[in-house]
Each structure stands twice: as structure tokens, then as C-alpha cells.
Amino acid sequence: MMPGIMASCWPFYFVLHLLLLPPDQNVFGCPARCDCVPQLRTVFCHRKHMTSVPDGIPSETRLLDLSKNRIRCLNPGELSPYPLLEEVDLSENIISTIEPGAFANLFNLQTLRLKGNQLKLLPTGVFSKLSNLTLLDISENKIVILLDFMFQDLRNLKNLEVGDNDLLYISQKAFYGLVGLKKLTVEKCNLTSISAESLSYLPGLQILIVRHLGTNYLEEQNFQKLYSLKVLELDCWPFLEDVCSTAFLGLNLTSLSITYTNLTIVPAVALRSLVYLEYLNLSYNPIKVIHRGSFRDLVRLKELHMAGASLTTVDSQALYGLRQIRLLNVSNNLLSTLEENVFQSVNTLETLRVDANPLVCDCRLLWILQRRKTLNFDHHQPICASPAEIQGNALHDFPDSILFEYFTCQKPKIRDRKLQYITAHEGQPVSIHCRADGDPVPMIVWVSPQRRMITTRSVGRSTVLPQGTLEIRYAQVQDSGTYICIATNAGGNDTYFATLTVKGENSPYSNRTLYLSEYNETFHNDTHVFFKFTLDLKTILVSTAMGCITFLGVVLFCFLLLFVWSRGRGQHKNNFSVEYSFRKIDGPTSAAGQGGARKFNMKMI
């Protein structure tokens, strides 16, 4: 029998089946070329080369799968005969037009999939009266703009997929009415920014996924009104170079992913407000260093992922503050080591991924060796890249008996310990050398006379070159003093001192320095050993106080003599006088007593 005749006789066959089947068995018809499951009220017309919605679909159908066909458009009322539909899948057709009213009468519809079609515009009213819809997928189309109020009737929508479109603009009120939306995915579109105004109509949003965006800066207002947001995923933003310090202010995130971007540093300041964060993924960003205290306020963080992030260094105390850390993934980086002092405490750590790194197996990795039987490496064992005699060996292969044979460190030793006495003129560059040997290679820092630490990452006039040399550009008089070189590694440290004198003949500091000797055997016979007398307010006050004390002492001594003399009055007749002269001030004597010699006279008879 031909399909058309079969479709026209469907009620007859339905009655015939009703008569022939047992009374307790459900009766369910099926369109031609489709597969049906009567017990589940489902009709599968998947990949059947259909150009329109087929005839013969039972009115009690709940799931209708029309995916991967050749349907071009949906006309008003085309699905109205099936009011019990709960799920409709129209994915991967060639639908370019959906007329308003196409989904009319589908009051029970909960899932609608329109993924992978040719839609360029969805007019307002297309989703009218779909008040029970909870999932809508319009991804992988050619939609250019989301119009105002296009989702306004979808008050119970929980999940909206709009990714992989040609989106250029999202209208400010496009998401108006989506008061129950929990998850929004936007990806692979031409948006250059995220509209904070449009997102403000999503008060219940909990999960936001934004992938493949072309913006280069994460601004303050992007997410400021998403108070219910818990999960934020920003993936594949190749131009993103900076995150505003207040970008996440006001959010109560528990999970944050910023992956495949162009961030070169950990956005530490922006992360400080995320005190409820439990999961953080910064993988596949060109971040080379994790600086000390980068995550100090993330006290609830349990998982930190920084895989493939170009890491070369993890500073001491870089993970301080992470008191509940359970998993750390720094695999596929350029790390030569991961020291225990990086952590607040390693006692909470359960899973560690340090594989695919050029690890140097020395004393810095002993803490991992000692925990290798209880620590989970997630089936990716760390491998030694050096030294040569144990290259290629996995950490779990080393027996306890030889741990201290290979995993050792050599304390730093500064090469040339001859004291340096250096003199320079103000404005000249100065270099002070300090080189050290050790295993691992020691890190060299300098401490200035003002007790300021100078490292290779210091900014300003002073910095430390990779070989350990202290370089001061444009030396100034206040740079004078003793500098301390500290060479340190996991085995210990060594120190060295150097003295710098900066002459300031043409500077306002030159009249404050008194040079006592000039002698140098090593550097051009031009070293100055000096004391400084600074004529500041403190010095003036001290000098004045000492002068007053001297004067009062003399007066007190005079009154003491007067007392002794008065006690003996009537017995002896003594004459004496006391004279105290103030410091002479050059200049003519005036009537006011200024200038010339001034005296204090007292005479007792």
C-alpha cells in the first residue's frame, strides 16, 4: 500500500489495531518512514530526507524527533495538532524561516531544539505561549541579532543555548522575561563585548558560559547585576589581555574558568573578592610566574588548574591562603621544580599533577617523594628530566633507601668574596657584581642600605641582572651605603657585602657630606670613607636643648654657692663674684645687646 493511501486510512487502521490488540495494551500509530515507540509515545523520523513535518503523527505523541532532515520552514499551526508534545527536535535541518504561531497550542512543550539550521532572524512572537518550555537550543545558526522581548513568554525557561551564531548585537531587552533562566551559553559569535544591561534581566542566572569572544578587556560592569551567578566560564578569548580589578565585585562565584586567553599574569586583584570560590581554572594562558600571595583571599578554594600555562616559576608562598586546597594541576608547563614552601600546608593536598614538566629531581622534590604512596597523581606520574643518571625515571620508582642519594642540594657559595668599595659620580650607572655556585642554581637578591629588597623583577632605577649583578641606573647620593648580596637555594644561603659611595658635587646633597679620607687599593684609588652631618630640625632641637641645660646648670651652681654663703653669714665676711660668658657672636655691639661679647654677672658680699 502506498504511503499516501496509508496516511489517509490511518483512522481505519487505528480502529483495526484497537480491535485486535489486548484490552490492556496501548494503541499508537506511526508515520511512514518513521520509527515509533508506543510505550513512550515517541516518534523518530531522524535522517529520513523529509522536507516537511510528516502526516500521520499520533495526536498523543510526546517526543518528536525530526533532526537531520531537509525541512526548510515551519508554518503557523504546523505542529498545533499535537498538543501533548513535550519535546521537539528539529536540529540540523535547513530551516531558514519560522513563522509566528508555528508552535501554537504546544502548552506542554518543555524542550525545543533548533540547533544547526539556517536561521538568521527570529521574529518576536515565535515562542509565544510556550510558558512551560525549560530548554531552548538555537545554537549553530546564522542569527545576527537578538531582538527585544523575543523570549518574553518563556518565564520558566531554565537553559538557553545561543552559541555559534553570527551575533553582532544583543538588544538591551532581548532577555526580558527570562526570570527563571539558570544557564546561558553564548559562543562562537562576533560580539566584541558583553552587554551588562541585557544580562541584568537574568536575576536567577546561575551558570554563564561565554566562549570564542573577540574582546580584549574584561570590564567592571559586565557581570555586576548577576547576584545569583555561581559558575562563570570564559573560554577562548584570544584577545583578552587584562581583567579589571573590580570585574567580579559583588559576585558569589563558586567556579571560575578563564582559559585560552592572552593573560600574562594571574589577575590577583580581581580574584580577591571571590571568597566563596571553590574551583579555579586558569589553564592555557601565557602566564610564566605565580607570584607570592596571588590567591591569598581564596580561603575556600579546593581545586586550582593551571595546565599548559607556560609556567616557569612558582614563587615561595605563591599558594598561601589556600587552606583547603585538594587538587593542584600544573601539568604541561616549564617548571623545573615545585617546592613545599609554595603551599600554606600540603596536608590537605590529595591530587597533584606536575607531569609533562622538565623536573629537576633534587632535594626540592623530596616532599613529593615522601608522599608518593598517598598522593594521587591521577594516573600521570611525574618524570625526572635531570640529573642525567636518573633522567626518565618516574618518582614512584625510587625506593626509600636511595632517596637521599639522588635528591640532594648543594648550598650556595659566592665566588669572589673580596670586598668591593665603589665610588661613582651622581648620574652615572653603577654595577656591583655577585656570582654564586650551588645546586640548584642559586637565586640572587640584593638588600639596599635602606633595607629594600632588589630582585630581577624589581622596577625603577635598581634591578638585578640574571647573572646576579646589581645594576643602578643614574646613581644618586642617597644610594650610598652598604649593599648585601644574598645567594639562596633549597640547600641554604650565602651573603656578601659591598660599599658604594656616590659623589654629589653638583647636587643639593654635596654640602651635607664630610669626607674624612680618600683611599682605595682596588678601584682607581678613589674610595671615600665619610660621616654625614645632616642639619635637620632634630639636630637643631638637640643642640638648643644641650645649650639650655648648660646654662641652667651654671645658674643652679650659683644658687648653691649663695645658699652655702648665707649659712655662714655673720661668722665670715666673704666677697666673690661669678661671671659666665655666652658664645661670642661676631658683629658690632648694639644697644639691644646683640653682637659682641655677652656676659652674665653675679656678685655676693
- Note the pLDDT tens digit of each residue in 409-425: 888 999 888 888 999 99
Residues 155 and 59 in one domain: yes
Residues 181 and 110 in one domain: yes
pLDDT at residue number 196: 79
Residues 74 and 160 in one domain: yes
What's the whole-number average pLDDT of the chain?
A: 81
Residues 558 and 593 in one domain: yes
Residues 494 and 526 in one domain: yes
Dig out the grid coordinates for 205 from the structure: 542566572
Average pLDDT over residues 433-457: 90
Residues 525 and 555 in one domain: no
* Residue 275 reports pLDDT greater than 90: yes
Q: Cis peptide leading into 83, omega within 30 of 0?
A: no
Residues 159 and 59 in one domain: yes
| Residue 225 is assigned to a structural domain of this protein | no
Whole-angstrom distance, CA of residue 48 vs CA of residue 68: 8
pLDDT at residue number 526: 34
In terms of pLDDT, which residue wins out, 88 or 585? 88
- DSSP classification of residue 396: G
pLDDT at residue number 215: 81
Whole-angstrom distance, CA of residue 52 vs CA of residue 50: 6
Residues 420 and 470 in one domain: yes
pLDDT at residue number 565: 59
Average pLDDT over residues 506-533: 35
Residues 418 and 512 in one domain: yes
pLDDT at residue number 90: 96
Which of 205, 230, 259 lies at the terminal end of a domain, its last residue?
205
* Residue 2 reports pLDDT greater than 90: no
| Residue 231 is assigned to a structural domain of this protein | no
Report which of 174, 224, 175, 220 is spatially closest to residue 202, judged by C-alpha positions.
175
In this prediction, residue 514 has a pLDDT band, given cuts at 50, 70 and 90, of very low
Whole-angstrom distance, CA of residue 240 vs CA of residue 193: 11
pLDDT at residue number 456: 85
Entry pTM: 0.70
| Residue 344 is assigned to a structural domain of this protein | no
Number of domains the chain contains: 3
In this prediction, residue 491 has a pLDDT band, given cuts at 50, 70 and 90, of confident
* Residue 560 reports pLDDT greater than 90: no
Residues 434 and 573 in one domain: no
Which of 501, 532, 563 lies at the terminal end of a domain, its last residue?
532
Average pLDDT over residues 481-506: 88
Element (H, E) at 588: none
Element (H, E) at 188: none
Average pLDDT over residues 250-278: 95
| Residue 127 is assigned to a structural domain of this protein | yes
* Residue 22 reports pLDDT greater than 60: no
Residues 562 and 461 in one domain: no
Distances (CA, A) of 21 to 15, 26, 62, 461, 479: 10, 8, 22, 94, 102
| Residue 82 is assigned to a structural domain of this protein | yes
* Residue 562 reports pLDDT greater than 80: no
pLDDT at residue number 218: 81
Determine the length of the chain. 605
Residues 71 and 194 in one domain: yes
Q: Cis peptide leading into 440, omega within 30 of 0?
A: yes
| Residue 314 is assigned to a structural domain of this protein | no
- Tell me the residue range of the domain where 96 lies: 37-205
In the chain, % of residues over pLDDT 90:
53
Report the CATH number at residue 431. Answer: 2.60.40.10
| Residue 239 is assigned to a structural domain of this protein | no
Between strands 42-44 and 63-65, the pairing is parallel
Distances (CA, A) of 132 to 42, 76, 102, 108, 182: 19, 19, 16, 6, 15
Distances (CA, A) of 377 to 56, 105, 309, 343: 57, 55, 19, 17
Report the CATH number at residue 48. Answer: 3.80.10.10
* Residue 569 reports pLDDT greater than 80: no
In this prediction, residue 274 has a pLDDT band, given cuts at 50, 70 and 90, of very high
Q: List all residues 6 or more positions away from 334 whose beta carbon is below 8 Å from its beta carbon.
A: 310, 311, 312, 357, 358
Distances (CA, A) of 72 to 145, 200, 225, 324, 577: 21, 35, 39, 55, 127
Residue 258 and residue 282 in contact, taking contact as beta carbons nearer than 8 Å? yes
Q: List all residues 6 or more positions away from 469 whose beta carbon is below 8 Å from its beta carbon.
A: 431, 432, 433, 434
* Residue 474 reports pLDDT greater than 50: yes
Whole-angstrom distance, CA of residue 542 vs CA of residue 434: 41
The beta-carbon contacts of 79-86 under 8 Å, at least 24 apart in sequence, are 79/53, 79/103, 79/104, 79/105, 79/106, 80/104, 80/105, 80/106, 81/57, 82/57, 82/106, 83/59, 83/107, 83/108, 84/41, 84/59, 84/60, 84/108, 85/61, 85/109, 86/62, 86/110, 86/111
Which of 205, 234, 264 lies at the terminal end of a domain, its last residue?
205
* Residue 533 reports pLDDT greater than 80: no
Dig out the grid coordinates for 146 from the structure: 537578538
In this prediction, residue 189 has a pLDDT band, given cuts at 50, 70 and 90, of confident
| Residue 358 is assigned to a structural domain of this protein | no
Per DSSP, what are the bridge partners of residue 481? 500
pLDDT at residue number 163: 83
